[in-house]
Amino acid sequence: MLATLKEILSETRKNKYAVPAFDVNNLETFKAVVDIAEEEKSPVIAMVLDPDMKSCTLRYLVPMMKEVAASSRIPVCIHLDHGADIQTVARYISLGFNSVMLDASTLSLSENIRVTSQVVEFAHAAGISVEAELGHVGVGLSDSAEDIKGFFTVPSEVEEFVEKTGVDALAVAIGTAHGPYRGQPRLDIDRLKDIVKITDTPLVLHGGSLTPDDQVKEAIAAGISKLNIATELRMALFKGLKATISELPEHASLHEIYEKPMEMMKQLVREKIHLCGSYNRA
């Protein structure tokens, strides 16, 4: 069934689990995520990054994604990940997404509040959930550990932000980064606990890929409701393709070529569902 982000995350903090969110960019990767979530009886969030897509492709893809979600026995949210501006968010809403993220995290607090509030106003009027980011989750390979620490969410800003914007979910920066890490991350769980005390708004951990499982579990126990996974899903697909190409003849069928990569992706999805504790929650 198609569900909003707000609906999917509503019970997470109370019951100490998170819902995994996976970046997909075609029907095959989307179905791989939904099929395993259905097997595990887990709600799931399928995300799209705008730089990975072309509007002409989305025009055909979104109706298929919505058809798969509507016929599924589990709650499925179709979510825009890291919408860069109001125009991008509005475009994805017009395409049929039922959840969006506006990432204005590099702006000042007042500007972040201003533009996020605008998105919340028109998205909520259409029954669509909104995620925003306070603090800034950097990039593991280009930002130093000190840079990442300098981007951390400031707890004292959280109350003003959620009250003035009315967001349905808030991404926080507590030590993760997008993509591979140059070193070992160390999440600031105490900072996360301070934020949890301030707001009931579901909290999101971006940069979930390659973050040690013990730290992810600790973050979920402390109050994280949504865990974003992109890099590891791509890595699983790439490893499967490399292994397949080295084994199969050039005249192999497309089914043979994609069989192992899809299996490896599905195994990764299953592992993250269990890491988040979302199995048997649908």
User: Is 52 annotated as belonging to a binding site?
Assistant: no
Does 231 appear as a known binding residue?
yes
Is 39 annotated as contributing to ligand binding?
no
Does 15 show up as a binding residue in the annotation? no
Q: What is the DSSP annotation of 20-70?
A: EEEE--SHHHHHHHHHHHHHTT--EEEEEEGGG--HHHHHHHHHHHHHHHH
133 is in an annotated binding site: yes
The catalytically annotated residue of 23, 81, 143, 168 is: 81
End-to-end CA distance of the chain: 10
**Beta-ladder partners of 130:** 100
Asked if 81 is an active-site residue, the reply is: yes
The two tokens of residue 32 are 């791989």
Give, in degrees to the nearest 5, the angle at Cα 61 between 263 and 53. 85
CA neighbor of 102 nearest in space, from 168, 192, 15:
168
Q: Is 179 assigned a ligand-binding role in the annotation?
A: yes
- What's the CA gap between 117 and 1, in Å, rounded? 28
Q: How far apart are CA 166 and CA 237, in angstroms?
A: 37
CA distance 24 to 237: 11
Q: Answer yes or no: is 169 a known binding residue.
A: no
Any binding-site annotation on 274?
no
If one counts every other C-beta atom within 10 angstroms of the C-beta of residue 125, the result is 8
**Which long-range contacts link 146-151 to residues 24+ away (Cβ below 8 Å)?**
148/173, 148/175, 148/177, 149/175
Residue 209 among known ligand-binding residues: yes
Report whether 256 belongs to an annotated binding site. no
| 10 labelled binding-site residue | no
Directed axis angle between helix 27-39 and helix 55-71, to 10°? 20
Angstrom CA distances, 92 to 1, 44, 79, 204, stand at 20, 19, 9, 20
Residues with catalytic function: 81
- Annotated binding-site residues for Zn(2+) read 82, 103, 133, 178, 206
Binding-site residue positions for dihydroxyacetone phosphate: 179, 207-209, 228-231
Summarize the annotated binding site as residue ranges: 82, 103, 133, 178-179, 206-209, 228-231
